[in-house]
């Protein structure tokens, strides 16, 4: 009887240790995607994870090769009516002009200072580049990090009156967590500034700085007056991580082809093509913003309005159909868009 009574005690203790040790895989057995409605999009994600991670599957992928790439603006958080980073840059213009008053009467700074939204909406790509160069460079990487940190923890989106980081899509956070729980390394692959996104990516997405691929500017190593080494951000673009730049950036920063890629616009087309050109099971998904009530509706695919930025043209929808990419309907596939929804 000694043995009989001692084993259950021991068994319970062992079970507890085992449960603690195995808590991550255990999680995968409940619904890993609770904010998703049942449907082809959710199913595509679950099927992909099973095909690539269950031992013995014909399409099993060794853990070291499990890479998933997520575009950011419009894919993991709200990008309308303006990218958060562009808002950041515009809001910094008065500070830049304070330091260099001679810019006050020079375009495009003059227009930005006027606060005339109609005139600002007409700024060209070239104007915007001048503003980005003036507001994102000429300071050390540490100063830049501190400034973005301050802004991102206080600035609010005008529609929801919430921090931009509160406007991340809960369903995409669940996909990231689900992939990571199954041995995937998750990367942000954004047209936005690499250093900008790195400031909050770990806290918001659980993605460390070294897994943020974005538009990259050069830095210059030098020394402060104290002799302390510093890196200064230069107005020199090394790689524009958008469109064809996305697979180029992925090769540069990761050196492996992703198995899964998530986007929402023409800027993501090449990344999805590149991902899909690999062998075995691959998952390519595009978020379609077709929910004007809970978020925004824009295309112009499927007759949705053309909002000019972050567009999802009909040609992209056609390519998706032809290549077996899955289009995620925010309206139909997402039970909940934001974590703060009741």
Contact residues toward a copy of itself (CB under 8 A) are: 1-2, 5-7, 9-10, 13-14, 17-18, 21, 64, 67, 141, 185, 194-195, 198, 202, 208-210, 212, 216, 218-222, 228-229, 231, 238-239, 244-245, 247-248, 251-256, 270, 273-274, 277
Instruction: Tell the smallest beta-carbon distance from residue 212 to a copy of itself (Å).
Output: 7
Q: Which is nearer to a copy of itself, 102 or 279 (CB)?
A: 279
Instruction: Tell the smallest beta-carbon distance from residue 100 to a copy of itself (Å).
Output: 25
Q: Which is nearer to a copy of itself, 47 or 143 (CB)?
A: 143
CB 49 within 8 A of CB 256: no
Tokens 């004007």 belong to residue? 292
Contacts of 21 (CB under 8 A, 6+ apart): none
Instruction: Tell the smallest beta-carbon distance from residue 17 to a copy of itself (Å).
Output: 5
- What is the token pair recorded at 328? 């995620």
Question: Cα(67)–Cα(280) distance, rounded to whole angstroms?
Answer: 13
Q: Which is nearer to a copy of itself, 233 or 289 (CB)?
A: 233
Instruction: Tell the smallest beta-carbon distance from residue 324 to a copy of itself (Å).
Output: 15
Chain-centroid distance of CA 69 in Å reads 8
DSSP string, 319-330: HHHHHTPEEEEH
Ranges assigned E (strand) in the chain: 67-70, 185-193, 212-223, 229-239, 260-263, 283-288, 326-329
Instruction: Tell the smallest beta-carbon distance from residue 220 to a copy of itself (Å).
Output: 7
Q: Which is nearer to a copy of itself, 35 or 52 (CB)?
A: 52
Q: Which is nearer to a copy of itself, 205 or 274 (CB)?
A: 274
Angle between helices 194-205 and 141-152 (to 10 degrees): 50
- What is the token pair recorded at 261? 């890629």
Q: Which is nearer to a copy of itself, 291 or 319 (CB)?
A: 319
Q: Which is nearer to a copy of itself, 262 or 334 (CB)?
A: 262
Task: Please give the backbone phi and psi of residue 217, each rounded to the nearest 5 degrees, phi first.
Answer: -105, 155
DSSP string, 155-219: -B-TTT-SBGGGGB-HHHHHHHHHHHHTTPEEEEEEEEEHHHHHHHHHHHHS--GGGEEEEEEEE
Instruction: Tell the smallest beta-carbon distance from residue 28 to a copy of itself (Å).
Output: 20
Instruction: Tell the smallest beta-carbon distance from residue 190 to a copy of itself (Å).
Output: 14
């Amino acid at each position: 009887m000694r043995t009989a009574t001692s084993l259950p005690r021991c068994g319970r203790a062992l079970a507890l240790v085992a449960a603690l040790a195995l808590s991550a895989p255990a999680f995968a057995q409940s619904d890993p995607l609770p904010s998703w409605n049942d449907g082809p999009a959710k199913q595509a994600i679950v099927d992909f994870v099973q095909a690539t991670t269950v031992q013995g599957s014909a399409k099993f992928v060794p853990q070291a090769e499990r890479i998933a790439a997520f575009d950011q603006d419009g894919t993991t958080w709200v990008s309308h009516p303006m990218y958060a980073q562009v808002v950041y840059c515009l809001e910094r213009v008065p500070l830049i002009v304070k330091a260099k008053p001679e810019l006050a009467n020079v375009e495009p700074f003059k227009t930005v200072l006027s606060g005339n939204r109609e005139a600002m909406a007409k700024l060209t790509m070239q104007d915007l580049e001048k503003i980005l160069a003036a507001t994102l460079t000429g300071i050390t990487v540490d100063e830049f990090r501190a400034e973005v940190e301050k802004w991102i923890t206080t600035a609010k989106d005008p529609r929801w009156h919430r921090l931009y980081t509160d406007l991340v899509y809960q369903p995409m956070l669940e996909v990231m967590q689900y992939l990571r729980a199954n041995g995937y390394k998750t990367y942000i692959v954004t047209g936005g500034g690499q250093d900008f996104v790195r400031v909050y990516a770990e806290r918001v997405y659980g993605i460390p700085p070294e897994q943020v691929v974005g538009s990259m500017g050069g830095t210059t190593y030098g020394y402060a007056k104290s002799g302390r080494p510093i890196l200064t951000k230069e107005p020199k673009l090394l790689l524009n991580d958008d469109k064809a730049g996305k697979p180029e950036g992925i090769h540069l920063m990761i050196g492996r082809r992703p198995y899964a890629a998530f986007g929402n616009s023409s800027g993501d087309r090449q990344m999805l093509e590149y991902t899909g050109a690999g062998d075995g099971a691959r998952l390519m998904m595009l978020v379609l913003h077709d929910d004007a009530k809970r978020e925004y509706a824009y295309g112009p695919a499927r007759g949705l309005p053309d909002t000019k930025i972050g567009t999802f043209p009909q040609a992209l929808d056609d390519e998706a159909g032809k290549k077996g990419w899955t289009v995620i309907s925010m309206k139909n596939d997402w039970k909940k868009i934001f974590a703060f929804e009741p």
